[in-house]
Amino acid sequence: MNALTKIKGLLWGVRLVYVITLVWVIADLWRLNSNTIISGTLFFLIGFPAVYLENQREKLEPAYGDTLGCVLWRFLLFPWFWVM
């Protein structure tokens, strides 16, 4: 298995966890009116590997940076940068 295949697999797993924690944070803030310590911390921590893996994939597959999928995932990473 080459590096690009491994990165793609890891990236999809991280993206799934990222979206789940993003929805959890939004639900905690506006719907449940509960404390967001756990969901916010997980959201904060999962953002680091998400950004790192996106950059690694773009290095290994330069054409990926011009695709719609890359633009959409970078848009989904915006809330993480906003929190930072």
Please write the tens of the pLDDT for every residue from 7-16.
Answer: 889 999 999 9
**pTM value > 0.75:** yes
* pLDDT tens readout for residues 46-76: 888 888 998 999 999 889 888 998 888 888 8
How far from each other are the two terminal CA atoms of the chain, in whole angstroms?
34
Asked if residues 21 and 83 have their Cβ atoms less than 8 Å apart, the reply is no
Per-residue confidence (pLDDT) for residue 10, from 0 to 100: 92
Task: Tell me how many degrees the CA angle 10-16-19 measures, rounded to the nearest 5.
Answer: 135
Per-residue confidence (pLDDT) for residue 84, from 0 to 100: 59
Q: Where are the domains positioned within the chain?
A: 3-83
The token duo for 66 is 């011009």
The token duo for 37 is 């310590």
The token duo for 28 is 């905690």
Q: What CA–CA distance (Å, rounded) separates 4 from 64? A: 11
* pLDDT tens readout for residues 9-38: 999 999 999 899 988 888 887 877 777 788
